[in-house]
A and B are shown apart, each in its own frame.
Chain A
Amino acid sequence: MDIYVLLKRTFDTEEKIVINEGKVSDEGVDFIINPYDEFAVEEAILLRDKHGGEVTVVSVGSEETEKELRTALAMGADKAVLINCEDLEAQDQHTTASILAAFFQDKDYDLILGGNVSNDNSTGQVGPRLAEQLGLPYVTMITNIEVDGNTATLKRDVEGDTEVIEATLPLLVTAQQGLNEPRYPSLPGIMKAKRKPLEEIDYDDLDIDEDEIEAKTETITTFLPPEKGAGKILDGELEVQVKELVSNLHQEAKIL
């Protein structure tokens, strides 16, 4: 199987957000593979180990993304491609999907996996947009995938319910939490990863009309939510506290 994984470099989930001049500051921030994309990398490796073939991890991003791509190679992916678009000014999900669509134009693939959202912008748009541009069927939020010949059977998380879906390859899927437990790269894995191919291309090396990939949306400003005032820690006997809480919720907050 020819398997591709879409990967994004994102802030570590434990990072606090600092805003500088209306933009999120990345100064001193630790980066990771977007956790949902990590599920996709793991699943791709498992599928390859079972069915044979090759796993290629692709990222549209900056030069720094090389680090996260190396991590994916250390986990067990075979190849990585970094599509550098640092020079591109107006970018959004339409841009990313269009760049990827151009990349995939001359590729053979059975399965493209991605995370169902990134933990920064959380739009969940890139996977479905890419599938639409490539004319591929897709299944989002999967918690399980089995491949048998040309057929994939998937489980999809639908607000807690599970749909069992059948589809024919080639197919694009996006990973939901619970799909698997991503492995940590082993030491030999890390050593091997250094010699695995990591190709860097520039977005304008692809067959792209720059006007057509220009962002459709624009961020006007970015801000932090208002800080919450200090809460009220209740005291006294537990029974008294609970009574006070309920009466507060009932009368002050008017919730119950």
Chain B
Amino acid sequence: MGRTVLTFAEIRENELRNVSFEALAAAKDISDGGEVVAAVAGSDDDSLAETLFHYGADRVVKVENEILDHYTNDGYFQAYLQVIQTVKPDVVILGHTALGKDLSPRLAARFNAGLISDATDIEVIDEEVVFTRPIYSGKAFEKKRVKEGTIFATIRPNNIQALDKDSSRTGEVLTEEVVINDLRTVVKEVVRKATSGVDLSEAKVIVAGGRGIKSAEGFKPLEELAEELGAAVGASRGACDADYCDYSLQIGQTGKVVTPDLYIACGISGAIQHLAGMSNSKVIVAINKDPEANIFNVADYGIVGDLFEVVPLLTEEIKSLKVGV
């Protein structure tokens, strides 16, 4: 029947985030021969539109207003609202990112519409869009639909496969100058996290530590392994409660829910609350001294041993694999 699907692309450090390409793939499926529109705000880089075409956009809307250089709830709300009113989509898709989580409920509420948050899969069944999403932090899943009206959805990073890049694709670029007034919340300062690089929710590989880490310094070998793998570092509640690391690293039912391609659990016993946050990872490696540890029940590969011996060996082995020895 053909739907118009609008996705809002997100930029981090001047690059489009992966989840924006995943959203385009989802949009393509849902559009059912209709149109995929990508809107991008917060950059005047023309090459971004090209890239969005390569990954499936039929039309790109450049949203312009210098206030959008930094995210504010009121600023982005007014901008996105105006884009939605212009494009008049049947479906709106955002990433389930900090921005998407903050903004999507307000947009849906304004349109008096249904919102499916944190979808991990999208199918079109008998012309109906059906979303799969985790509940109880991934201990179970539900299939959901929006009953009527505009469909709003956020998609979880790393779950929907982006389309292969097709550099021959191109399309029409529109510029939408948006009017923004009255920012009721003002961002005074942004403090970048101490740990470098990869964000947990989007990481392809995660190295996580638990109580077995024994101290804040105990994260050192994990960080070295993570660096070698281009991975993000995470932690169990045990490690956070013991003050070995910041709560922003916590993975579990309270904390972040992650689904990387590879999850390396070091000194993590595997409490239900932790498993809820990571057991849907594609491949799980467990390293633990205790052969009875629950984590081995969900692991694809297990090594029974002291993480302080195993992890450095693993780092070395991966180094040598990389140089092709």
Mark A residues whose CB is within 8 Å of B.
Answer: 11, 13-17, 19, 24, 35-36, 92-94, 97, 116, 119-129, 131-133, 137-141, 143, 153, 157-168, 177-178, 215-225, 228, 231-234, 238-239, 241-243, 245-246, 248-250, 253, 255-256
Contact = CB atoms under 8 A, between A and B. Distances in A.
A221 to B, nearest CB: 5
A246 B279 contact: no
B107 to A, nearest CB: 9
A232 B296 CA distance: 9
Interface string B251-273: 01111010001100000000111
In terms of DSSP, what is the predominant structure of the interface of chain A? mixed
A17 B305 CA distance: 31
Interface in B141-176: 141-149
Interface string B293-321: 00011111111110001100110011001
Given A129-B105, A132-B109, A165-B185, A253 B283 contact: yes
Contact of B303 (A178, A220, A242): A242
Given A122-B134, A216-B149, A158 B321 contact: no
Nearest to A129: B109
A159 B199 contact: yes
Interface residues of B, number: 94
A242 B317 contact: yes
Q: Which of A36, A125, A221 has the most CB of B within 10 A?
A: A125
A256 B141 CA distance: 29
A225 B254 contact: no
B68 interface: no
Contact of A119 (B101, B117, B253, B301): B253
B195 interface: yes
B124 to A, nearest CB: 14
Given A177-B255, A224-B140, A255-B283, A218 B299 contact: no
B87 to A, nearest CB: 20
Contact of B135 (A116, A122, A178): A122
Nearest to B254: A35
B73 interface: yes
Contacts of B314: 242, 245-246
B185 A167 contact: yes
B323 interface: no
B150 to A, nearest CB: 10
A222 B139 CA distance: 11
Contacts of A216: 108, 112-115, 146-149
B246 interface: yes
B248 A93 contact: no
B290 to A, nearest CB: 12
15 contacts: A14-B273, A17-B140, A93-B115, A123-B105, A138-B106, A141-B102, A159-B199, A167-B186, A217-B114, A218-B146, A231-B299, A232-B302, A238-B303, A242-B310, A249-B283
